[in-house]
Amino acid sequence: MSSSNNTIFITQAGGCLNGKLRVPGDKSISHRSIMFGSLAEGVTDVNGFLEGEDCLSTMKAFRAMGVEIEHSGEGRVRIHGVGLHGLKQPDGDLDLGNSGTSMRLMAGLCAGQSFPVTLTGDASLSTRPMRRVTDPLKEMGAVIGTTEKGTPPLKISGDTKLNAITYTLPMASAQVKSCLLLAGMYAEGKTCITEPAPTRDHTERMLQGFGYQVDRNGPTACLEGGGKLTAANIDVPADISSATFFMVGASIAEGSDILLENVGINPTRDGVISILKLMGADITLSNEKEICGEPVADIRVKSANLQGIDIPEDLVPLAIDEFPAIFIAAACAEGVTRLTGAEELRVKESDRIQVMADGLIALGIKVEPTPDGIVIQPGTFSGGEVHSHGDHRIAMSFAMAALRATGDITINDCDNVATSFPNFIELANHSGLKISN
């Protein structure tokens, strides 16, 4: 059931998950493969590219700046790189849809170009905070305009001299770190970014894979401006964020046993595995290997009796995108689960703390949202109606809640599931969830 602006998921109560699954390619790596392949010298071939709307927005933006990109579908992309200084001024604004990753990383790249450009997005993206990237970029010499609230559109003047910066992030954010490192490639001198807690390091790994030297010393990453990228082939692993929904679903639904194949287990992204294991989840890794510098493994998950925990704050940055699904697991656990140190969740595609709290309450779960987290009491999901507020991770998390619900769950505003997981319904039904739209 859907309308022109509101896709609705209807998930039937009960069931379990079984079988072998391959979830879509990692979104973070897919974004960067387009960006770095476009800025490299030579031809880059990408396999396993995520065919989601966010990544397609990145592809469209670089095509608009003169990059030839062949896209045959089924995760195969060929990029004819133009070099760091080969991009051309687009005919109009670059519309990045719902993709905060695209906007924040491209702010850094576009600040180093010789032409002006305006970055825009959809209604959700247009409310997201951008001063965390525009303020340090201005310190580097960039000229960038935002709304009075510091939100998009971003108007970047271009043709300004950038100077290297030594900067300590006020909060852990891979997007801000990446933005400044990418601007640093165009700056004079050495740019060094220090983060207060570990965040995903795909940018550093992939830059080095494209031949651009990045020096890492503990929490600090540095690079010199004026280098170059050389084309490299990319094999994108399955996205651990997408795998998380099925890890949680299998953990909470009695009789479940699934194998998630070839999932990226980058140590800056695997917090969800650690958290679920602390809760008592039955998770085992096998066939561990490295592909293009990224660690991958097959992940087997069986149903288990979960326990509520106080989530360690040092794991929060390593699982920041996975908390909507973790909240579903917490509601099914024995005992209280407490999350602190996660204020970043309030400025994602939605206020994920409040939106998840509202949905959990609507389904009969007792929760207490706090400024930087949430307290979740164990309970039983009733049937009912929830609103995802256009947030794809909220929608897919509540879909998994139906496995332990006493009645069907209707989820509103699911359009943006296609941004990260275009075949979610098909794969979920194949594995045992009963969902329609």
Residue type, 136: P
**β-strands 190-194, 166-168 pairing:** parallel
The torsion defined by the Cα of 379, 380, 385 and 388, in degrees rounded to 10, comes to: 50
* Secondary structure letter of residue 126 according to DSSP: G
CA dist., res. 108 & res. 258, Å (int)? 40
Residues annotated as catalytic are 321
CA distance 17 to 271: 22
Cis peptide before 153 (omega within 30 of 0): yes
Rg of the Cα trace of the chain?
21
Neighbours of 147 (CB within 10 A): 13
Q: How far apart are CA 167 and CA 107, in angstroms?
A: 17
Displacement of CA 72 from its chain's centroid (Å): 24
What is the token pair recorded at 253? 């639904």
CB-CB contact of 196 with 169 (8 Å): yes
DSSP assignment, residue 416?
Answer: G
| CA separation for the pair 99, 60 (Å, rounded) | 12
The rounded distance, in Å, linking the Cα atoms of 308 and 279 is: 6
- Count how many Cα atoms sit within 13 Å of the Cα of residue 361 in the half-sphere of its side chain: 11
CA angle (355 as vertex; 378, 153 as ends), nearest 5? 155
